[in-house]
Chain A
Amino acid sequence: MFATKRLLQQRQPLIKFLGKRHTPSKVDHTPHAHPASPTHTLPESFATYRQKAQQHGPLNQSAQFSSGSGFIGNRPGASLGPVEPNNGMYFDRSELPARFQRLAWSQAEIEAIESGGASLYA
């Protein structure tokens, strides 16, 4: 180890110690041509598909829902601020979207309770 270090003072190899590999902090995920692609270009269909897939989705940063300023689609959701109710105010469960609300009892469940579970085996 030290012998190598001493040697390196005289001759710097071209090969470099890269150290432990890390995932780069910024990776450009937008589609580019594959390095082994013979044409070095992406067909038009990539952009078209992306455009189509994004027109209603959160990835679409531009237009669609934001014809004027102040519309939700114009900015990321996070920039709208926290969703907590104001101080001293509370949300009632029934005001929340349906998926947060209590599930309705089904007829079968009501019967099961009323019959003490017997209806399940009847």
Chain B
Amino acid sequence: MFRSILPRAAPKSVLQSVRGAQTSFRASNIYFQDRLRRGYASEAEEKDLVIIGGGVAGYVAAIKAGQAGLKVACIEKRGTLGGTCLNVGCIPSKSLLNNSHLYHTILHDTKHRGIDVGDVKLNLATLMKAKETSVSGLTKGIEFLFKKNGVEYIKGTGAFVDEHTVAVNLIEGGETSVKAKNIFIATGSEATPFPGLTIDEKKVITSTGAIALQQVPKKMVVIGGGIIGLEMGSVWSRLGAEVTVVEYLGQIGGPGMDAEISKMIQKMLTKQGMKFKLNTKVMSGDDSGETVKISTEAAKGGKEETLDADVVLVAIGRRPYTSGLGLENIGLETDDKGRLVIDQEYRTKIPHIRVIGDVTFGPMLAHKAEEEGVAAVEFLTKGYGHVNYGAIPSVMYTHPEVAWVGQNEQELKAAGVKYKAGSFPFSANSRAKTNLDTEGIVKFLSDAETDRILGVHIVGPNAGEMIAEATLALEYGASSEDVARTSHAHPTLSEAFKEAAMATYDKAIHY
């Protein structure tokens, strides 16, 4: 009975100092002050899990933890959930890619399909608004999921005070702190800046600025021919910009893309109007004038050139984001690339602090972060989680799309693995023919002895959806014959996938 009224744990001295003489009466407000003070001391409720970062890794882990019945809070400083992916990455860029592709199709590709269109105009403001509608719908959807699964959402910037406490600087002003038995760091990544260029997100932009340009630039230079650079380059090229991509390596699409596929997509994008300068180093940039001047040099000592652009997109990669996190307060260090070091269960050296997503090892992909979010919570609740880093698909959403999973030919050759390769062109696929969209191939790589699939590489229409089947096959250790003997509906693009599998273990029918 008294427990609820007067906490017994309250030290006597505090009580007496307020009360004064024991027999005297006191005003009721003094009594309540007294209660309040002690209320604070016992109030701090410890969470089972606090997640710093409400991006794809963080929010998925929060929902999963909520479903598992943990008391969980998620700290996010952006003001909206979903992180880079939903707010300034995958989602808005897909909106722009899809709509700019439609615009480009209507402009250049309808006549021979029997559709005569009149005056076609671009309304960039509405295009951007459509993008924002998609983004806000999705981010609000996560907030709803948080409520549904009992996740506390704290809007603010979290920083470690000690190994169990995170101080939060609230967006709306004020501060709070949360204590937790377990803490996940899911603070993600940021665009790597280019030394010598100041990013103002107007003339010199990262992917964040590239999805929010107010007008179509006349000339655009993209530094870095990776997936982000090519996707955003595609968008503005379709909308009318003259886009030049400068890449240090000898191929576009990054080192993970199969060399044969990379060459094919480069040809296709060149046909669409993009220009490429491979094996080229950007030496310096000058953004002081009206336009930005970029000095380049052939990578293997040689020709110098100056490129002039209205807008320069810096897309040389992303780096883990840990600034302001207070890592020094708990003695956590990062590796040479700024990643937090973890073990096989995502634990840092402090076992109750785990790290997931872009801020640690592995490819910086949203779906990889999602897998890790689920696995890390399962390690917490069940002691066992699963992510197969050998079967994580990569997709580039240009047109045509490029998608791959597993190993590519260069990697297999370097590892000395004996393999068989089989491919099938979309030009021999009935559905691609009816769609008048026949560029690209599906390519299988399987073990020469066991026929087990080692990698699948696709460039072509709908490659991003098709790669799901390849990932499933790889995850379950299927052979190319297993895929080839599975019935695929006719007429679909996925028949090209089946035929490529047939070509790998035997022969394709339609080619």
Contacts and interface: CB of A to CB of B under 8 A. Distances in A.
B343 A33 contact: yes
Interface of A is mostly: loop
Interface string B468-491: 000001001111011001000000
B383 A23 contact: yes
- Pick the 5 closest A-B CB pairs, nearest first: A36-B362, A31-B343, A14-B479, A15-B478, A36-B361
Interface of A: 11, 13-16, 18, 21, 23-24, 27, 29, 31-39, 42-43, 45-46, 48-50, 53, 103-104, 106-109, 111-112, 120-122
A14 B450 CA distance: 8
Contacts of B16: 107
B341 to A, nearest CB: 6
Nearest to B388: A35
B349 interface: yes
B417 interface: no
B113 to A, nearest CB: 40
B22 interface: yes
B511 interface: no
B181 to A, nearest CB: 15
Nearest to A108: B6
A42 B343 contact: yes
Interface in B15-38: 15-16, 19, 22, 25-26, 28, 31
A34 B361 contact: yes
Interface of B: 2, 5-6, 8, 10, 12, 15-16, 19, 22, 25-26, 28, 31, 333, 335, 341-347, 349-351, 360-363, 382-384, 386-387, 389, 450-452, 473, 476-479, 481-482, 485
A71 B6 CA distance: 43
Contacts, number: 104
Given A24-B384, A122-B25, 16 more contacts: A13-B481, A14-B479, A15-B476, A27-B384, A31-B351, A35-B344, A39-B335, A42-B341, A43-B341, A46-B341, A46-B349, A49-B350, A107-B22, A109-B2, A109-B8, A112-B6
Nearest to A38: B361
Nearest to B480: A14
A16 B477 CA distance: 8
B476 A16 contact: yes
Given A15-B482, A32-B343, A106-B12, A23 B452 contact: no
Contacts of A103: 8
Contact of A120 (B5, B386, B482): B5
A50 B343 CA distance: 13
A52 to B, nearest CB: 10
Contacts of B25: 122
A29 B482 contact: no
B477 A14 contact: yes
A107 B333 contact: no
A18 B425 CA distance: 33
Contacts of B382: 23
Contacts of A122: 25-26, 28
Contacts of A32: 343-344
Contacts of A34: 342-344, 346, 360-362
A50 B204 CA distance: 46
A106 B10 contact: yes
Contact of A111 (B22, B344, B347, B360): B22
A101 to B, nearest CB: 12
A65 to B, nearest CB: 22
B384 A23 contact: yes
A38 B402 CA distance: 26
B482 A14 contact: yes
